[in-house]
Structure 1
Amino acid sequence: MTDLLWNRAEEPSALLVLAHGAGAPMDSDFMNAMAEALTDQGVSVVRFEFPYMARRRQEQRKFPPNRAPQLLAHFRDVLTALPDDNLPVWIGGKSMGGRMASLLAAEADCPSICGVVALGYPFHPPGKPEKTRTDHLPNLTVPMLICQGERDPFGKPQEVAGYGLPPAIHLHWLPHGDHDFRPLKRSGLEQTDLIGGAAFRAALFIREKTTAQ
């Protein structure tokens, strides 16, 4: 089990277990900024690293991501190891981490979670829109929020509109944003603006859906 990295809100409405993307660790600039922004919105965040990323950190060499079954097994282990603090538990992540969270939530024997938050969902590999990663999404039994940049090469608005996503999935489009929520310079926005907007929407979604349950 890897170490857990905590950002605790003063009066948290929920706990979000946040997984990193394929290429950057749990304490990347994006993950740090997102965790802090979510905490400011009243959601506690705990981060962890998948085995391949923990090995990268230990050996200072690059390794490819583990296969999905290993990633999901590790995600389950993290959930099992959480302290029992009576907070509603949500899962999510950046890109690959968000996809793994949705795969876990779609499993019949998924641990008890309230919902999923994906930050830049990888609907398809860049340049390969025919290779969609959406087959499992209709099996979700909990609500899911996807915060997606309008310029994300892993899934743009006109592509995603044709997927026929189930009603449990809600989309929040970030203006001018790419996969890392970086906007075009001419937009007058900063990456921190889009990260803050995503955190605000995610915290609102978490509070609304947790209350509804």
Structure 2
Amino acid sequence: MTDQTSGTAGAAQAVETVDTDAGPARITWHRAKRPRLVLAVSHGAGGGIEARDLRALAGALPGHGVSVALVEQPWRVAGKKVAPAPKTLDVGWRGIWPAVARGGLPVISGGRSAGARVACRTAGELGAHAVLALSFPLHPPGRPEKSRAAELLGAGVPTLVVQGGNDPFGRPEEFPEGTYDLVEVPYGDHGFAVPKRAPVTQDQALETVTAAVLPWAVSLG
């Protein structure tokens, strides 16, 4: 395990490499000065921790007592372009969990897209305090019959879904009733990008994400 620390605007930042049974993973920490809980959040199958919503959360939450751990799965650290099978993603997530939980604080298990599925599938066994599902891929585009709702409904802990209004992997109105909370990002696609013709700006879309996550996360601490 290695740990390198640097100062950035808004939060102390450290990069940590963690060995897992799926290979080395990497955690970029955005630490709160007086943390009450941790949000560990991973990327999807088509991108990394540079995703606009993950960066927005890493910038907004530490100032409110929530340390953010941006997790890069082993396949990304290895430079591969295609994500492995879901069970391998779960192995990587299990491997990083001791590192994000070692401070003894409650940990919100989070992710975007495929990372949200991982968070839901493993929440119970890992003892997650809650789940944050960003752009949960309810089904493949154009294939609503291939529903993954069971993963979301089976998380077993307080869960917040933040979903783009135009997400081809599942629009908000397609989601089944459940005990989770769901917040829509109007006009947003799977990456929360909004069209230039939309009556909201990209910055406003990201503000919707942070405005949904921040009070929910703080309330859990």
String of CA shifts for 1:30-59, please: whole Å, max 9, x gaps.
Answer: 432332133344421101221211111xxx
> Which of 199, 203, 206 matches 1:195?
206
> Which of 126, 132, 151 matches 2:147?
132
Pair 1:64-2:82 in alignment = yes
* Counterpart-to-counterpart distance in 1, 2:196 and 2:65: 30
Shift of 1:117: 0.4
**How many percent of aligned residue pairs carry the same amino acid?**
33
More strand by share: 2
- Name the structure, 1 or 2, with higher relative contact order (CA <8 Å, separation 6+): 1
Residue in 1 that maps onto 2:56: 33
What is the count of residue pairs matched by the alignment?
A: 198
Equivalent positions of 1:90-169 (< 5 A) are: 90-105=108-123, 107=124, 110-160=125-175, 163-164=176-177, 166-167=178-179, 169=180
Distance 1:9 1:194, change over 3 A: farther
Pair 1:16-2:39 in alignment = yes
Q: TM-score scaled to structure 1, two decimals?
A: 0.84
* Counterpart-to-counterpart distance in 1, 2:168 and 2:195: 14
Deviates more, 1:128-137 or 1:17-26: 128-137
Residue in 1 that maps onto 2:68: 45
* Counterpart-to-counterpart distance in 1, 2:35 and 2:202: 25
Distance 1:76 1:6, change over 3 A: same
Task: Tell me the amino acid that sits aligned with residue 45 of structure 2.
Answer: A
> Which of 174, 197, 210 matches 1:186?
197
String of CA shifts for 1:4-50, please: whole Å, max 9, x gaps.
Answer: 10111233332100111111122344432332133344421101221
Structure 1 runs (4+) deviating above 6 angstroms are none
Shift of 1:100: 0.8
Unaligned runs of 5+ in 2: 1-18, 20-24
